[in-house]
Amino acid sequence: MKTDCLVLGSGIGGLAFAIDASRTMEVVIATKRDANESNTRYAQGGVAGVMDSDDSFDMHAADTITAGAGLCHPETVDLVVRSAPSGIEWLIDSGVRFTEDHGRFDLTKEGGHSRRRVFHAGDITGIEIQRALLERARSIPNITFLENTMGVDLWLREDASGTRRVGGAFMLDRDRGRLLTVTADCIVLATGGAGKVYLYTSNPDVATGDGVAMAFRAGARISNMEFFQFHPTCLYHPRAKSFLLSEALRGEGGILRRVDGTPFMHDYHPLKELAPRDIVARAIDHEMKMSGHDHVLLDMTARSPDYIENRFPNLTATCRTFGYDLPTEPVPVVPAAHYMCGGVRTDLDGRTSIPGLFAVGEVACTGLHGANRLASNSLLEAVVFGRRAAAAVMECPDRVRTPDDAPDPPSWMRDTAVSSNVENVMVTQDWDEVRRLMWNYVGIVRSNRRLNAARRRLDLVSREIRDYYLQSPLTPDLVELRNIAGVANLIVRSALSRQETRGLHFNVDYPETDDRRCLHDTEIWLGVNTRVQKLGPTRGE
C-alpha cells in the first residue's frame, strides 16, 4: 500500500492530524482494533483551556509548570496554553458537544488548577470527542481507515542526500494474520500510552506502548520515560478492571478517607484533595501500606445526591453495577497506572529525530508535562500538536516523496509458516511477569535495588522474546509482548539515570528533590545508553 501519510492510532491526536492534513494529502489511519477503541475514548475529565475573564494564559501556564516540578519546557507550555482557545473552538466546530449551563460552558476545576477552566461533556468527555471526530473523519474521502491492523516495525530509507528517513511500516492484519507493507511520505505515531506495561491500569487493552517501542527500534530519541503518572482514584473491585473515577470528583468536593472514615490529605499537602496527582497517588499508596488495607475511600456525600447523579451519570451508573452507590456512600479506590508523561521526543511541530516521522498525543514527549502532567492537559496537547503536525507537513514546500518500492519484511516476519516451538503459555507467563514486575519494582515508589533487579529480569525476558520471534508465527500477542517488554526496559533505565526524587519519580534512595543532581531530560536512543542534558543556570547551577 502507498499513501501520502500513514497515521498509527485513531484517538484525538491522530484524528486531528488526519482531518486537517486531508485537505491536501491522502491519509491512511491504521488502528489496532476498531477505530473507536483508543485512550481518548476512556478520558472522563475534559480539555483545559482559558476562556473565562477571571482566568489567564499566565495562570494556566503557572499551574502546568508547578505540576511539572520545574521540568516543563516553557516555550512548549506557552504555545499550548495560548493555542487552547483555538483548539477547543476547532473541537466544537468538529461537532463536540461540551456541557453547557444556562447558555454558558460549564467549566469545572480539577487537581492542580487554580481556576475553573476544564471543558467537559458530562463525565464522558472522551467518548464525545471520539464520536465527533470519527464521524467527521469518516466523511472525508481523502481518509482511509485500516481497522484491526497494527504496526510491527518502521522501516527507513536513504534519500538523495544520504539522510536516513522513515519510508513506511510493516503492519500486521489481525483479521487475516498476514503482513502488509505500507510506504508513506510521512508517518504519524498517535498510538497513545503504555498503561498495560503495569499490572493495574486505567488504560484500555490497546495501550501497550507500541509507538514508543517502534520509534526506539528505528533509532528515534525517547525522553523522560521515568515519569509515569498513576491516577489516584480507580474503583477497587475485582471485576472493575481499574475503572477510572475522574479527578473532577475531587474537584467537585470529593474527600479521601481512610477505611475508618478519617480524612488524610491534609497531612500531605495544603491543597488536600486538589493536590497534583503524583502527591495524591503517593499519599494513598502510603496510607494503604501503613494501614495494611488494600484501598482507601472516596466520599462524595458532601454534595447532594441529585447533583452527583446529574453531574456524573456515567460514573454513578458504573459504580452501581459493582454494588456501590456513589451519591450516598464512600466508594473504595486505589491508584493505577494512567498516563505516560515521557515518550518520543518531538519539536514544537511534532517532528521526531527521524525525518518524516511525527508523534502526537500521549506517545510524544513535547516538554509540556515535565515531571508530572496537569489534569486535562493531555487532550489539549493532543489536539494542538495533531493540528500543528498537519500544518508542518502541508506547508513543507520540499516534502520528500517516498518511492513506490518497499523492502521485503525481515525473515522472522515472513516465515509465519514455520511450526511453532513456543507454547502460548510461555508468552502469557512473560506478559504477566513483565507487568507484575513493573508494578512491584517500578511503580509509585522505587529504589535502586528494585530498579536494578527489574533491569536484570527484563534483560532475560527480552532474550526469551527474541527467541519466540525466531521460532513462532507472528501474532498480535507476540507483537504486544515485545513492545511492553521494550517500553518497560526504557522506563527502568530512565529511572536509574535520575538520581533524585521529582514529580512522578520517587526513589527512596534519593528522597529529596535536588536541583544540583537534576537532569532536565533523560534521553535514550538505539545504540547509545543514556544521555544527560544538564539544566541551565536558571536552576541554580
Largest CA-CA distance found in the chain, in angstroms, rounded: 70
Neighbours of 376 (CB within 10 A): 29
Catalytic residue among 41, 117, 157, 277: 277
By the 8 A CB rule, do 376 and 45 touch?
A: yes
Strand partners, 377: none
Q: For the CA atoms of 526, 156, 208, 461, what is the dihedral angle to 10 degrees? A: -50
Helix, strand, coil abundance in the chain, percent, nearest 5: 40, 20, 40
Q: 407 φ, ψ to 5°?
A: -70, 155
Integer-rounded Cα Rg, in Å, for the chain is 22
Separation of alpha carbons 487 and 228, rounded Å: 12
Separation of alpha carbons 530 and 134, rounded Å: 39
Residue type, 148: N
HEC assignment per residue over 15-46: HHHHHHHCCCCCEEEECCCCCCCCCHHHCCCC
Separation of alpha carbons 342 and 228, rounded Å: 7
By the 8 A CB rule, do 406 and 183 touch?
A: yes
* Distances, alpha carbon 452 to alpha carbons 432, 433, 439, 510, in Å: 19, 16, 14, 15
Active-site annotation holds for 104:
no
Strand partners, 143: 27
* Distances, alpha carbon 521 to alpha carbons 220, 342, 534, in Å: 15, 9, 8
Which residues have a catalytic role annotated? 277
